Chains A and B, each alone.
Chain A
Amino acid sequence: MAERMVVEPDRELIARVMASGGADLKKCMQCSTCTCVCSLSTEQDGFPRRQVLHAQWGLKDKLVADPSPWLCHYCGDCSEKCPRGANPGEAMMALRRYLTTQYDWTGFSRLMYRSEAWNIGAMVLIALVVVALFTVPVNFGFGLLSRSGPAALSTVMLDKFAPKEMVHLGDTLLASLLGLLLLGNAGRMFRAVTRGDSLPLSVYLRNLPGLIVQGATQKKWKECEGEDAFKNWARHVVLVSGYATIFILVVVFLPWFQVQDHSFHWSSLLGYYASAALLGATTWMMWDRLGKRGEMHRFSQFSDWLFPAMLFLAALTGLALNVFRLLDRPMATYVMYVVHLAVVAPMLVVEVPFGKWAHLVYRPLAIYIVAVKRSALESE
Chain B
Amino acid sequence: MSAKLGVYICTGCAIGESIDAAQLAQVAVGECHAAICRTNAVLCGAEARAQINRDLGEGAVSIAVVAACSPRFKAESFNFNHGSVVERVNLREHVAWCHKPQDEDTQMLAEDYLRMGVARARKMEPLKPLTDEISKTLLVVGGGVTGVTAALEAAQAGYSVVLVEKEEKLGGRAAQVKKHFPAAPPYTALVADGLQASLEAALHHPFIRVFRGTQVAGIKGQPGMFDITLEGESEKQEIRAGAIVVATGSKPYDASRLAHLGYGISPDVVTSVEFERMAVEGKIVRPSDGAAAKRVLFIQCAGSRDEKHLPYCSSSCCMTTLAQTTYLHEQDPEAEAFVIYKDMRTPGQYEQFYREVQGQPLNFFTKGEVSSVKSGADGQLTVTVEHTLLGESIALRVDMVVLATGMVPHGSEQILKLAYRQGPELPVLQDGFADSHFVCFPYETRRTGIYAAGAARAAMDENQARRDAAGAALKAIQSMELAARGQAVHPRGGDLSYPSFFLQRCTQCKRCTEECPFGALDEDVKGTPKPNPYRCRRCGVCMGACPERIVSFHNYSVDMIASMIKAIEVPEEDEEKPRVLALVCENDAYPALDLAGLKRRQYDPSVRVIPLRCLGSLNIVWVADALSRGIDGVILVGCKYGDDYQCHFTKGSELAQQRLQNVKETLQRLQLEPERLQLTQLAIDEWDKLPALFDGFVERMRELGPNPYKGF
Nearest A residue to B398 via CB reads A7
Bitwise interface map of A from 1 to 15 toward B, beta carbon under 8 Å scored 1, else 0: 010111101010011
Bitwise interface map of B from 376 to 394 toward A, beta carbon under 8 Å scored 1, else 0: 0000000010000111111
User: How distant is the Cα of A18 from the Cα of B392 in the complex, in angstroms?
Assistant: 24
The stretch of B266-274, B355-363, B499-507 that contacts the partner chain: B355-363
| A59 contacts partner chain B, Cβ-Cβ < 8 Å | yes
By a CB distance below 8 angstroms, the chain B residues around A14 are 361
| A131 contacts partner chain B, Cβ-Cβ < 8 Å | no
By a CB distance below 8 angstroms, the chain A residues around B692 are none
Number of A-B contacts (CB under 8 A): 57
By a CB distance below 8 angstroms, the chain A residues around B362 are 11
Q: Is the CB of A56 within 8 A of B364?
A: yes
| B367 contacts partner chain A, Cβ-Cβ < 8 Å | yes
Q: Is the CB of A7 within 8 A of B361?
A: no
Q: Is the CB of A6 within 8 A of B394?
A: yes
Bitwise interface map of A from 305 to 330 toward B, beta carbon under 8 Å scored 1, else 0: 00000000000000000000000000
Chain A nearest Cβ from B22, distance in angstroms: 66
By a CB distance below 8 angstroms, the chain B residues around A15 are 361
| B704 contacts partner chain A, Cβ-Cβ < 8 Å | no
Nearest B residue to A5 via CB reads B394
User: How distant is the Cα of A27 from the Cα of B396 in the complex, in angstroms?
Assistant: 23
| A160 contacts partner chain B, Cβ-Cβ < 8 Å | no
Chain B nearest Cβ from A55, distance in angstroms: 11
Listed A/B pairs (13) with beta-carbon separation below 8 Å: A4-B392, A4-B393, A5-B393, A5-B395, A6-B395, A26-B358, A26-B360, A30-B365, A50-B391, A53-B390, A57-B366, A57-B390, A62-B390
Q: Is the CB of B393 within 8 A of A2?
A: yes
Known: A53-B389, A57-B366, A57-B390. 11 other contacts (CB 8 A): A2-B393, A4-B394, A6-B395, A14-B361, A15-B361, A26-B363, A30-B365, A30-B367, A50-B389, A53-B390, A56-B364
Q: Is the CB of A6 within 8 A of B397?
A: yes
- Known contacts: A4-B384, A27-B355, A27-B359. The answer to whether A57 contacts B364 by CB under 8 A is yes
| B336 contacts partner chain A, Cβ-Cβ < 8 Å | yes
By a CB distance below 8 angstroms, the chain A residues around B394 are 4-7
Chain A nearest Cβ from B360, distance in angstroms: 7
**8 Å CB contact of B395 from A7, A50, A53:** A7
| B344 contacts partner chain A, Cβ-Cβ < 8 Å | yes
Number of B residues near A (Cβ < 8 Å) is 24
Chain A nearest Cβ from B656, distance in angstroms: 47
By a CB distance below 8 angstroms, the chain B residues around A54 are 390
Residues from 91 to 130 in A contacting B, C-beta threshold 8 Å: none
Q: Is the CB of A29 within 8 A of B358?
A: yes
User: How distant is the Cα of A104 from the Cα of B668 in the complex, in angstroms?
Assistant: 91
Nearest B residue to A1 via CB reads B393
- Known contacts: A4-B384, A6-B397, A18-B361. The answer to whether A29 contacts B391 by CB under 8 A is no
| A84 contacts partner chain B, Cβ-Cβ < 8 Å | yes
Chain B nearest Cβ from A49, distance in angstroms: 8
Give me the 3 closest cross-chain CB pairs, A-B, nearest first: A4-B395, A4-B393, A6-B395
Q: Is the CB of B366 within 8 A of A53?
A: yes
- Known contacts: A26-B360, A27-B358. The answer to whether A9 contacts B336 by CB under 8 A is yes
Chain A nearest Cβ from B396, distance in angstroms: 5
Nearest B residue to A3 via CB reads B393
User: How distant is the Cα of A173 from the Cα of B355 in the complex, in angstroms?
Assistant: 53
User: How distant is the Cα of A9 from the Cα of B294 in the complex, in angstroms?
Assistant: 13
User: How distant is the Cα of A11 from the Cα of B360 in the complex, in angstroms?
Assistant: 12
By a CB distance below 8 angstroms, the chain A residues around B395 are 4-7
By a CB distance below 8 angstroms, the chain A residues around B396 are 6-7
By a CB distance below 8 angstroms, the chain B residues around A7 are 394-396
**8 Å CB contact of A84 from B355, B366, B390:** B355
By a CB distance below 8 angstroms, the chain A residues around B367 are 30
Residues from 13 to 36 in A contacting B, C-beta threshold 8 Å: 14-15, 18, 26-27, 29-30
Which of A14, A27, A57 gathers the greatest number of chain B CB atoms within 10 Å?
A: A57
By a CB distance below 8 angstroms, the chain B residues around A30 are 365-367, 389
User: How distant is the Cα of A9 from the Cα of B358 in the complex, in angstroms?
Assistant: 16
By a CB distance below 8 angstroms, the chain A residues around B358 are 26-27, 29
User: How distant is the Cα of A62 from the Cα of B391 in the complex, in angstroms?
Assistant: 11
User: How distant is the Cα of A78 from the Cα of B361 in the complex, in angstroms?
Assistant: 22
User: How distant is the Cα of A57 from the Cα of B364 in the complex, in angstroms?
Assistant: 6
